[in-house]
Structure 1
């Protein structure tokens, strides 16, 4: 229990202190007109209150990630607490803050546009493909999942339920952000928060000991923590998918100082939710072995339902059902909206087309493969989502590093987590079964060799920008 409570306190302290430090490094300017006003169009660029932005951002980035991912990560033992806290404060929240604030600073720019500005068009091309595939897969999975559950709970056939869910996705993708998302997300957000807080309180007063983080109890399993844990628990610590969602909210903020509350704050909120469900998984089933059996028997949705009903009774069962249906929907719809926005921005620079026509056309372009994938078994593709998701996270962090280097600011706040995540993805792709499936030691050697190459490029960039700054200073002094 001490580890659990301490972890939550550390996350809150991270927001109270480190978030403000990151904000001071970025240097906000509330006198600058935000894209919500500068480009106001009644569709994507719409001024909204920051608290609505917080709920939208939380649901955009969360879905079932901090629940299902945290339960899977809990199989690694109490070390999951450590990764959620450290990853969330120093990597995930920093990642989300810069993805949102750089978008805000550059007119509501999408993630690929930011990559092109700071890392070059070659990287942008690869990121465009990866991020679009990632979002389409997420939208497809979060169409099929709720549809399957609706089929179990109602007389609806799977295809009928699928069409209903997807019809909502289309509406959420093409209607003004304040008409659907801005109105219903705060309600859904309250359900998510109440569900997590209720489970957390029940854990604290339920009488079962919550596992502590000790040397003996750090990692009871056999699978290596590095790099598997960092890919298993992504949404609760750091997830590249978030960088594709932040521009939705960056186009609605009224001033730059709201960014810390919305982008950094929503990630801290997600970290707290992930901590609660990781603790619930380890505690309710008497350890990682019991949790593994429960996951094998009923899957993550069955585990969520069993925990919720047992700890909270009928109320918990209702929350569990609502959560497992609503949460994936609130990520799937914005995944489709984000992919539409990225394609619309890219195509509008190439074709002169009416705004409404572009929106509808791009929605169809991304909607067709999304709907098709939701009707077939594409699990062979889904296996690659974890790795590609963290590749996107590393790229976003390197984008932030490039920005900070150019501005002569403290680049280490993004550089250290960027190096860490580079090491994760470089090692994972060689070790994982969906990758090369090499021996662990071989994967470590190759992965860290590649990471060392990236580190050398990083150091070279540091000296290059120092020389540029020094030359600029000399020229100013001479003049």
Structure 2
């Protein structure tokens, strides 16, 4: 229990200490009007209170990623918890803060336009394609997972729930942001927090289960994977949303269009990521504790983390409490899936310069996205999840480099973004070169060296090209 509480304490401390430092480096202005007021349109640009925006942001970014990812990561042992803590504070929360605040400073623009503004047109075109692919994968992952859990709970055919969720997505994607998302999601956010806290208390007071049983300090630095899977770099791809996730860069601009003041940014963007880190820690600890360690977890999971969610929730909270907990896990991906499609619509609207105030124009972009999403639901979930993981972390890399370029241009302390950008670039390149299913299948040593060299070259080019150029060509909107 001590190790778990220490990890939670580090995350909370990271928000107050490192979050304040990051905010100071960025340089907020309480007097600067935000896009919620300068571009109010009653559809996507709508002012909302700090608390409401925080809960919506938390739901938007917290799909099944901070649950399924940490459960899969728990197979490596407590080392997964270290990555969640330090990855969340020094990479994920920084990534989310800058993806949100740079959008606030640039009229609510999406990540492809931000990448193009600070990294060049090539980066913009790359991100336009990559972001749409990622959001489609996210939408499909976040449809299949809740539909599967609902099927397990009711015994109904999963395709029935797929149809219902798709219908809801279409409605939620095209109506004004304050009609469904703004009204229901704060309540769902509270349900999510209640579910997470309830499971934690249940396992702490349980006489049958022990929190992190038999683990010692040395286990936090050891790979305990029962399937002999290498910790590097796979762990840093497997646990994405609980540590650092490019998907969040596509979601933060949604709330950047609703933030009332720049002073709310640390709580909304940095704080929501810390909240997601706590959720990820809870599920990682539960996965390791409920099944008595990695061997039991591997057997209990049976290849599907949804089995862990079902067994742990009902086992710790009983039938009624377990149903409520599972309901929270079902709500998570649904509330992230619809905003994924909403983000894709807005990115396309920016690309085609198509205003979204009129319903027919929103449908013109939304319907083709849903057709492609429906086709992708027929692909095996495991395959979609692997591609989602790589696409997710690649998007995070691009957003971190975009934030680094912004700080370089403004002669600010860029290493808060450059350091995690370099680490995640090495992770992605090493993984792609070493993976036998998605990449070249090279030896891990060769892949890592190539990753380090490639990262050094990329970092040098961005620093040399960007530093000292001031605001040339990148004047912010006021």
Question: How many angstroms apart in 2 are the aligned matches of 1:120 and 1:164?
Answer: 41
Deviations 1:191-248 (A, max 9, x none): 1111111111223333514254522553223322221111111111000000000011
CA distance in 2, matches of 1:151, 1:287: 28
Q: Which residue of 1 aligns with 2:446?
A: 442
Count of residue correspondences: 463
Of residues 387, 399, 403, the one that matches 1:400 is 403
2:42 is aligned to 42
Instruction: Classify 1:272/1:353 alpha carbon distance in 2 versus 1 (closer, same or farther; 3 Å).
Output: closer
2:309 is matched with 304
Q: How does 1:194-205 map to 2 (within 5 A)?
A: 194-205=194-205
Within the alignment, does 1:121 sit opposite 2:121 as a pair? yes
Q: Which residue of 1 aligns with 2:271?
A: 265
- Distance change (3 Å), C-alpha of 1:445 and 1:161: same
1:344 to 339, 349, 353: 349
Relative to 1, partners in 2 of residues 1:315 and 1:435: Cα closer, same or farther, differing over 3 Å?
same
2:140 match:
140
C-alpha contact (below 8 Å) 2:409/2:467 kept by paired residues: yes
Counterpart for residue 465 of structure 1: 467
Q: Which whole-Å CA distance do the structure 2 matches of 1:456 and 1:384 have between them? A: 29
How big is the shift at 1:48?
Answer: 0.7
Q: Compared with structure 1, are the counterparts of its residues 39 and 79 closer, same or farther at alpha carbon in structure 2 (3 Å cutoff)? A: same
Structure-to-structure mapping, 1:53-72, within 5 angstroms: 53-72=53-72
Query: 1:3, 1:213 within 8 Å by CA — same for their partners in 2?
Result: no
- The question of 1:389 aligning with 2:392 is answered yes
1:456 to 455, 460, 466: 460
* RMSD of aligned alpha carbons: 1.9
Which one of the candidate residues 411, 421, 426 is aligned to 2:424? 421
1:327 matched to 2:329: no
Distance 1:108 1:289 in 2: 47
Bigger Cα displacement from structure 2, 90-99 vs 200-209: 200-209
What SS does the corresponding residue of 1:257 show, helix, strand or coil?
helix
Q: Distance in 2 between matches of 1:424 and 1:377?
A: 25
- Give, in whole Å, the separation in 2 of the partners of 1:77 and 1:353: 47
How much has 1:125 moved relative to structure 2? 1.0
Deviates more, 1:88-97 or 1:47-56: 47-56
Structure 1 residue 30: deviation in Å? 1.4
Q: How far apart are the structure 1 equivalents of 2:193 and 2:7? A: 18
Q: Which moved more, 1:181-190 or 1:370-379?
A: 370-379
Q: 1:436: Cα distance to partner? A: 1.3
Alpha-carbon displacement from aligned partner over 1:92-147 (angstroms, at most 9, x marks no partner): 00000000000011000001010010011111111111110111111122223323
Q: CA offsets, 1:368-400, max 9 Å, x none? A: 101222244465344222111111101100000
Indicate the structure (1 or 2) with the bigger Cα radius of gyration: 1
- Shift in Å, 1:443: 1.3
Structure-2 change in CA distance of 1:459 and 1:128 (3 Å) = closer
Taking structure 2 as the reference length, what is the TM-score of the superposition?
0.92
Q: Which position in structure 2 is the counterpart of 1:236?
A: 242
- What secondary structure, in the 3-state scheme, does the structure 1 residue paired with 2:44 have? coil
Greater CA drift, 351-360 or 74-83: 351-360
Greater shift after overlay, 448-457 or 10-19? 448-457
1:450–1:8 CA distance, 2 compared to 1 (3 A): same
TM-score, normalised with respect to structure 1 = 0.92
Residues 405 and 462 in structure 2, CA contact (< 8 A), matched pair in contact too: no
Secondary structure at 1:225 match in 2: coil
The 1:447–1:41 alpha-carbon spacing in structure 2 relative to 1, beyond 3 Å, is same
Unpaired stretches in structure 2, ≥5 consecutive residues: 471-478
Equivalent residue, structure 2, for 1:255 = 261
Indicate if the aligned counterparts of 2:60 and 2:339 stay in contact, CA closer than 8 A: yes
